[in-house]
Amino acid sequence: MGHVTEIQHPLIEHHLCTVRDKSTVPSHFRAAVNRLSVLVGVYATDDLAVEPVSVQTPIAPADCHQVTRRIALVPILRAGLGMVDPLLNLLPDAAVWHLGLYRNEETAEPVEYYDKLPKSGAPNTALVLDPMLATGGSIELAVRRLMEWGVEEIRVLSIIASRDGVERVQRDFPKVKLYVAAIDPVLNEQSYIVPGLGDAGDRIFDTPQPG
């Protein structure tokens, strides 16, 4: 599937059960999202450029390697916030820039409401964080904005994606790398991923919608 990686790992399968289960309480849901984000993040960064350095251990000099590129995490508000802390644990020197998008429930299209990206100083690599890639509309807006900013390389990290959303990202942005824990087959009439996990933002922040 080109630049799309659906990660296969027993721990991913285990934690996907937790986030899919509608009876999972918010605290356990957040913890599972955290663990899945770490697993996806490790795979999504396995080819970052590094440079050799020498450090002094308590015993002797040691040859090591450090990541050389300037990296930014770009969570799609608000669900993407659930993936920030685990990625910062892996990349503590990464900058964090927020893009606010919400879903219009009538059209299922994303609406942008927050964008504070500066005009200059773009990082070398941006990791776009969004637990759910449904129609691909939010990711499309985010990727186009990051390209306008001047980001050289964009990678998208998600927990569950729909096949339609994956194909849209591949078609519109063939150079963007996409890393997901699972790809589900279809979207329903409301453009929710099936079987999916429901609304990731509501479940992370315990804000169920009325009705």
Question: Which of the residues are catalytic?
Answer: 103, 107, 199, 202
Residue 196 DSSP symbol: S
Quick one: which H or E segment has residue 131? Answer: none
Indicate the residue type of 203: R
* Phi/psi of residue 162, nearest 5 degrees: -90, 155
CA nearest 202: which of 14, 29, 6, 2? 29
Yes or no: say if 122 and 128 are a contact pair by the CB < 8 Å rule: no
The token pair at 176 is 């963007």
The Cα–Cα gap between 72 and 146 comes to 11
d(CA 154, CA 201): 23
Query: Do residues 5 and 180 make contact, with C-beta atoms less than 8 angstroms apart?
Result: yes
CB of 187 closer than 8 Å to CB of 135: yes
d(CA 176, CA 167) in angstroms, rounded, equals: 12
Residues 1/178, Cβ–Cβ less than 8 Å: no
Phi/psi of residue 67, each to 5°? -65, 135
